[in-house]
A and B are shown apart, each in its own frame.
Chain A
């Protein structure tokens, strides 16, 4: 059996979901990179990262999700806060809705302080209890950007860290 605790998966922003705000595809500030840019406006924008890693129908096999990292930048000014929530979505059977729950996580940058500063950011969201992913479920990591009138935001990409076992 393979059991490797150091696996990671890059998730480009083009796989992410952006709600609220005017978002556009742009070149990143560093030549050769790509970014999703939010225009300045007073609003709360929500960026959801689909965690695209393998799952498995057998317990304790496949991927055990440990943490998620998001690379972004608050430009022009500081945001009010940047807060992460992790959603576990159990897919519904035919005719039934999905069921969401919210595993306990911690974020290494404080929402209204370090995570919101006018700076480049690498925020790490860590599951208190890492989870093996069943094939009937998936995970969405949601970041709420509470923005004042001046701040703009660039989202570059994410990385999911996990154990692979097969």
Chain B
């Protein structure tokens, strides 16, 4: 049996989901040459960025991947936002003819709320209080709700990394 507690998966920004009423959402070069980013333009509104956690799952209990934490790299620029708020949701897929069920997962954020919206490079590590084995009927979405405010702040998302135990 393989049991590796140090497995990780890079999740590129091209897989991120953004819903915003008016802010421009574009693929852009990152500030560091050679990097890529998903850019959120300035707008005085609330935008939601969702990161799908693409790691293996398994139909058997205690096999596959045990999700431990998710790291999100982003850059706030131009002006301070009002807030970034992070929620990690577990989505249990519905059977045919049934809706999915969503449950927020208890976690901690490495970067305090006040620091996460400052103009700076941010590496937010969201750590599950109780790491979870991922069943094949479930997946996880990390949601970042950004209250952009009227200051003209912009944001570039560089990518995410999911950290997990791999057992097979």
Report A's interface with B, CB cutoff 8 A: 2, 4, 6-12, 14-15, 25-34, 52, 71, 109, 114, 119-123, 156-157, 159, 161, 164, 166
Contacts and interface: CB of A to CB of B under 8 A. Distances in A.
B111 to A, nearest CB: 22
A34 B141 contact: yes
A10 B89 CA distance: 15
B152 interface: no
Interface stretch (B27-35, B49-57, B73-81, B122-130): B49-57
B59 A6 contact: yes
17 contacts: A4-B58, A6-B58, A7-B57, A8-B56, A10-B139, A15-B54, A26-B19, A30-B102, A32-B87, A33-B102, A120-B97, A120-B98, A121-B97, A122-B94, A122-B96, A159-B57, A166-B2
A33 B141 contact: yes
Nearest to B52: A12
B100 A30 contact: yes
B56 A123 contact: no
Contacts of B143: 32
Interface in B41-65: 48, 50, 52-60, 63-64
B19 A4 contact: no
Given A7-B58, A8-B58, A32-B102, A14 B96 contact: no
A156 B102 CA distance: 13
Contacts of A7: 56-58, 64, 168
A8 B136 contact: yes
B151 interface: no
Contacts, number: 111
9 nearest A-B residue pairs (beta carbon): A12-B52, A8-B136, A32-B102, A6-B59, A10-B139, A32-B89, A122-B96, A8-B57, A34-B17
Interface residues of B, number: 40
B104 A32 contact: yes
B129 to A, nearest CB: 18
A14 B100 contact: no
Nearest to A14: B15
Contacts of B168: 2, 4, 7, 164, 166
B64 to A, nearest CB: 6
B122 to A, nearest CB: 22
Contacts of B141: 32-34
B50 A71 contact: no
A122 B95 contact: yes
A115 B89 CA distance: 28
A71 B59 contact: no
A153 to B, nearest CB: 15
Given A52-B54, A156-B100, 6 more contacts: A6-B59, A25-B17, A25-B19, A27-B19, A33-B89, A166-B168
